[in-house]
Every structure is written in structure tokens, then in C-alpha cells.
Amino acid sequence: MTKVSRFLANIRNWFIQIAFTTKTEKLLKKIETYDVISFDLFDTLIKRNVKNPTDIFVYVEQEYNKINAKKIKYFQKERILAEKKARKLSGNAEITLDKIYEYMDYSLEEKELLKRLEIQIEKDFCVQNLEMHNIYEKCLKLKKSIYIITDMYLPEEVIKEILTLTGYTTYEKLYVSSTIGYTKNNGLLFQKINIEKNKKMLHIGDSFKADFIKPRIYGIHSVLIKKHKNYTSFCNIKSKDVSYNVLYRYINNNISKYELSNYEKFGYEILGPILYSFVNWVHNEVKEQEINNIYFLARDAGIIMNAYKILYCNSSNIYYLNISRKAVLNASLDNVSSFDDIFNYYEKMMLKKTSTVNDFFYALEIPNIDYKNIGEKLLMNLMSSEKEQIFNSVKQELISRSEKQRKYLITYLKQNDFLGKVALIDIGWNGTIQNYIEKLKLKNTDIIGLYYGVMDWNCYKSITKKGFLFDKNYGEDMKRIIQMSLGFFELLFLSTEGSTVCYEEKDGIIVPVLNDKDSVENVEKNIKGMQNMALQFIKDIQNSNSEKYICQLPSTIFFENYTHFIKTLSLKKVALFSDFEFRNATKNKLISNKSIIYYVFHPKRFYIDFSNSTCKIMFLKSVFKVKLPYFTILNKLYESNK
């Protein structure tokens, strides 16, 4: 098809949809005046979790090759050509699945297996069209006669099974073209429909020719419904990737049953797939490496643990550890000998050279009383004498606190059966908490860290860690995406409980001490909404027949919606998260509250704010606002700093 003909076809389809499609509200009223309501089946009563029906054949080949030593290639192409040949030679008559396979070059045994797989996968990918199911139920309540009419080469018994699986169990007549031998498309199938005299019939379908024009030629009233509606807000609907479109169609076909805010949609469309894929990877790693116990680290891994429990509810070796970077640092500072020693500990987690003295004291959980006059001074601007003075004022407290906290932390881990081969689950990125736990030198303990990604392989080289999306030898593109939006990505996993700052003894038991919650009420509500719908996505997919195919998709497919969101940032998208802020030693909003004009006159402030930003791509978009290649700009910046 040429560009011109494709353009004309798109114009025609647009005109058809605008001019002839009937909205659900009007259709609900319209059916009241008819005695018989007939429905088209595919793309009307049911949807498939694939973009094109021929995508089914990709999965036929995939499943066939799993169970056969003799592999096949190009099955999709061969299957499409065989159907075209069968239709060409059949004239006006409908073809059957058996007839199609007559034109395929396989042995009889191979053909039978391929047909069985095609039928099973067709059934697995079919889902109820909720909008049309409501129309169907209205017809049942009004005691209308319901006919189902479909052009389909599959056997009638298979069509009946699909109808049952998708919730259409009550109907008066079923007309299947492969059984009758005629199609709706040529109009002859409508000739075979028997309607009692004086009864009015209305046909509902998505094809302009087969479901709208042809029934009218034979005296049957008809309405046209929209073939495809997009219910999503954050999916890449223009993608041509077959694997991605399986995920997209699944999301689109399921999300329509919920009334959701933009934050909840974000959770279902973006965070849900991210959680689902990571949890499956963790579970496979746990099995492969024969892990004894799995430890999900507070706070960020709390939502990951909840997802794990949904998918693998029979697992009994799951623990939630109230542990944080600050808590392990509090147990590791007994050997510091200078201000720079302390900074080097905290630089990997909470502080930067552009942080202030106040940030330094906040990170240490020590009141800043004597140095208010330099509280706003940047750490990189401190003189040696100031560093020495600050260090001498905190040294004794840090050492004393560290010795006690080390004992408490060791006891806390033992209380939680931290023994044998264990896995630490967290977002990432360097394995800092894991590194400090390893330094406790616990006996008979072998630790592996399982993370979304490992940023710096050379950091803490002595520990065993693995990244899901990116690691030493793979995933550089995904690493860039995360680097540009690190704070935003981490906020998606934020727990509404306070962070662990230290441990104390109560009644002979070591318990974590949490600080106050550090999120504002409306942000907390929106994060909860996102996370709840992410978990709902996992519940939905767990109960789907398509799950066994979706779980096999490449990991990058499950992150495509996040990648698309970051790469196509608009002011509208950025504004959604204008109140969100990231807190470590400092509290920073994801987007800037200063204008570009302000930064023109305060370039040093721009450098500091940009350096401190935890989501640099959102920061740039909020400052400059215009459409610029922010992703490309940041990518080159990271490349130059490698």
C-alpha cells in the first residue's frame, strides 16, 4: 500500500467512524425498539489481546517450538499465505481451518498439532468486551432474542467454547460461516437468517461492509460500533512491536472496567507491568540459585513484596526487613577519622558536594546547634578548619552510637532468621545496604542482592549482586532512562510509613525506630492510588488466560510504557507530579519552582538545583517548557561523564 492510498484509507475509516458509529448510550435506547438483536463476535462481543489476528500465529510457532525438537520458522507468513490461497480458490464459499491447513507444507501429525495450538491460543487471547457485554446483558433483561453471527474459519464448537469462556452463555441462535458455508462479508450469510414475521431485527458489529451495509441490503437494520477504542493514557499506542502490542491490548482490554484517576491509570499501565516483570525475575532467580530466605528491604521493597505474595502466595520464606541506608550507616561509623571520611560514607547515598551543612546534620540525625551561621554553606565551599571543627563536634556521638547500633542490627537480623543463602530485594542501585550488612561478617550467611539495576559495577565489587534491567554487560539504554528519572522512579515505590533511622531494645527484642512520614497528604493519597492499581494489574493478569504468554515477553516490553512516558514528557505529564518531592538528606521537588528568567540571572543556582535534582529530565522540562530533545541532551551529558 502506497503512502497516498494509506492516507486515503485512513481518511475513509475516520469518516466511517465519525459518520456511522453509534455510541453506547444511544445503542442502549435503540435496542428497546427491536425484537431480535444480533451481534458480530470478534471485535464486537469479544476482543483479542493482540493488535492483529495474525499475531496469534507468532505464538503458535513459539509454543510449537517449545515442545518439538524439530523447530519451525516463518509460520506466521506461511499461515497467512495459506489462508489467502484457500479463500481465492473457494469463491464465495467460506473456508474452514482444515481447508487452510491443506495448503501448508507440514506432515499430517504436524498439522494436527499446529491446529490444536492455534485453537488453544485463540481461546487464551480472547477476552470479553465489557462495553458490549453490558449491551448483551441489557438484551437479556429485556428478554430480546439474541443471535450471534460471525465470519470465522474456526469450527462452531470452538466458537461456542470461546463464547462460554468470555461470559456469553445465553443466546437463541449462533450462525458461524465455517458451518453454514457463507459469509457476512458477501451478504449470503444474512440470507440464511430466519426471522419470524412481524419481528424487527437489529444487527450490531464493527465492520462497515459486513456488519453495516450488507445486513441493510437484506432488510435488516444495523448499527456500526467503533472497532477499537483506546482507554489508556500512558501506553505507546503507535508502537508496531508485536510483543509490546500484546501487553498494550491486554491493558486496554482490561482497564476499561475501572473508573480511574490519572494517578491510578499510571499505576495500572506503568507501575503494574514494572512490578510484575521484576517479581517474576526474582522468583526465577530464587529457584535457580536455591535461595533459603527472601528479604524485602523497607521501605521501597514493601510494594514489591506485596506483588510477590499475590503471584507466589504459597511462599513461606518471605521477610520484610525494616532497614535503611541511614540505619546501616549509623551502625558503621565507629572508625571515621575525619570530616571527609563521614562525607565519603554519605556521598553514595544522601549527600552531594552541592549539599549544605544543614543537610549534613540532617543526614547524621544530629541537631545543628553551633553552626547555624554556616548552615546554608555548601559542603564543597567549606574550609579545612570548618570541616575539622564540625568533625570534632560529632565524632564522639557518632562512634558511641555506631557501636551500639551495630550490636542492635546484628541481633535484629538474627531475630529474622538471617541465615544460610539469602536474597536481599530492593530497587538498587549499587548494593549499599547489602555491602554494610556484609561488613557485619555474619556467620553461615551467603547473600545475593537482586535489584532492578546495578548502576556502578565497580562499586562494592566484593558483594554478589544482579540487576534485572541493567548490569555490567547489558541494559545500557535502560540505565540511561533510570538515571534521568531516578528520583521519580524511586517515588513510585515509596511506602507511606516512616523510614528506619536506628534500632532500640524493648522487652528484650530489638525493634526499628521510624522517623515521621515524609510525604504530604495528597501525594501520599496519589502514591497509594498508583500502587493499589499496580497490584490490581497483577491480580488481573494472574487470572488471565493470556498470562502464560505475557510472562514470556522481554523485560524491556514491561518497561516500554515507562520509557515512553519519560521520552515524551509534556508539561501536562510533568504537572501531574508537581507536588511530588524526593527526600534524602535534602527535600527536593521533582520539578523546579523557578523560571528560566530567574536562572538566566542566577546561573550558579541553576547548576546547584540541576545537580541536586533527582529527576533531571522533569527538571529541564519544567524550566525550559518548550519542546526540546531533553532525552538526547541528557544522554550526551551522561556519555561525556563516563
Q: Per residue in 547-575, pLDDT tens?
A: 999 999 999 999 999 999 999 999 999 99
Do 55 and 26 lie in a common domain? yes
Answer whether residue 18 shows pLDDT above 60: no
- Same domain for 346 and 371? yes
Residue 321: is it exposed, middle or buried by C-beta count within 10 angstroms (0-12/13-18/19+)? Answer: buried
pLDDT, tens digit, 9 for 90 and up, residues 627-639: 999 999 998 888 8
Whether residue 382 lies inside any domain: the answer is yes
Question: Tell me, what's the pLDDT at 341?
Answer: 85
Q: Rounded CA gap, 330 and 314, in Å?
A: 36
Distance in angstroms (rounded) separating the CA atoms of residues 92 and 89: 9
CB atoms under 10 Å from CB of 493, counted, come to: 22
Selection from 40, 326, 64 nearest residue 205 by Cα:
40
- 529-545: average pLDDT: 96
Number of domains forming the structure of the chain? 3
Strand ranges inside 152-276, DSSP E: 173-176, 201-205, 221-224
Domain boundary residue among 361, 386, 402? 402
CA distance 206 to 204: 7
Q: What pLDDT score does 521 carry?
A: 65
Q: Any idea which residue has 553551633 for its cell?
A: 370
Q: What is the mean pLDDT of residues 160-165?
A: 97
Residue 507 lies in a domain: yes
Asked if pLDDT for residue 120 goes beyond 80, the answer is yes
For residue 413, give the CATH number of its domain.
Answer: 3.40.50
Query: Of 204, 224, 244, which residue sits at a domain end?
Result: 224
Of the candidates 534, 561, 593, which is a domain's last residue?
534
pLDDT attached to residue 105: 93
* Same-domain check for residues 135 and 201: yes
> Which residue has better confidence, 92 or 208?
208
| Domain assignment present for 217 | yes
Query: What is the model's pLDDT at position 466?
Result: 96
Q: What is the pLDDT of residue 396?
A: 87
- CA nearest 574: which of 619, 609, 614? 619
Both 300 and 342 in one domain: the answer is no
Please report whether residue 470 resides in a domain: yes
Tell me: do 418 and 500 sit in the same domain: yes
CA distance 618 to 597: 18
Give the mean pLDDT of the chain.
Answer: 90
- Using only C-alpha atoms, the chain has a radius of gyration, in whole angstroms, of 30
The residues facing 425 across adjacent strands are: 296, 450
**What average pLDDT does the segment 151-171 reach?**
96
pLDDT over 60 (residue 313)? yes
Q: Is the pLDDT of residue 469 over 90?
A: yes
Q: What percent of the chain has pLDDT over 90?
A: 64
- In the predicted structure, residue 450 carries a pLDDT above the cut 80: yes
pLDDT above 70 covers what percent of the chain? 93
pLDDT value, residue 9:
65
Does 603 reside within a domain?
Answer: no
pLDDT of residue 348: 63
Residue 202 lies in a domain: yes
Q: What is the pLDDT of residues 475-522, one digit of tens each?
A: 999 999 999 999 899 989 988 787 888 999 999 999 999 886 655 567
- Give the pLDDT score at 515: 80
* pLDDT score recorded for residue 391: 87
| pLDDT at residue 1 greater than cutoff 60 | no
Q: Tell me, yes or no, whether 386 and 427 share the same domain.
A: no
Within this chain, do residues 338 and 414 fall inside the same structural domain, yes or no?
no
Residue type, 567: K
Per-residue pLDDT at 520: 58
Q: What is the mean pLDDT of residues 233-250?
A: 94
Q: Does residue 419 lie within any of the structural domains? A: yes
**Domain containing 312: what range?**
257-326+407-534
Q: Are residues 413 and 397 in the same domain?
A: no
Query: Do 411 and 503 fall into the same domain?
Result: yes
In which element (H, E) is residue 502 found?
strand 500-506
pLDDT exceeds 60 at position 585 = no
Residue 470 is placed in which grid cell?
Answer: 541493567
The whole-angstrom separation of Cα 608 and Cα 356 is 11
pLDDT-derived band at 235, boundaries 50, 70, 90: very high
Query: 626 in helix, strand or coil?
Result: coil
Pair (184, 289) in one structural domain: no
Look up the pTM and report it. 0.89
Q: Which residue has the higher pLDDT, 631 or 313?
A: 631
44 and 152 housed in the same domain: yes
Tell me what the mean pLDDT of segment 202-214 comes to.
94
The mean per-residue pLDDT over the stretch 246-253 comes to: 95
Q: Are residues 346 and 457 in the same domain?
A: no
Q: Where are the beta strands (DSSP E) in 245-362?
A: 293-297, 318-321
Q: What is the CATH number of the domain that holds 147?
A: 3.40.50.1000
C-alpha to C-alpha distance for 58 and 62, rounded to whole angstroms: 6
pLDDT at 134: 93
Is residue 13 pLDDT above 70, yes or no?
A: no
Q: pLDDT band at 350, cuts 50/70/90?
A: confident
Would you state the pLDDT for residue 346?
A: 79
Q: What is the pLDDT of residue 345?
A: 79
Residue 273 is assigned to a structural domain of this protein? yes
pLDDT value at position 371? 62
Question: Would you say how long the chain is, in residues?
Answer: 642
Triad 172, 175, 176: Cα angle to 5°: 140
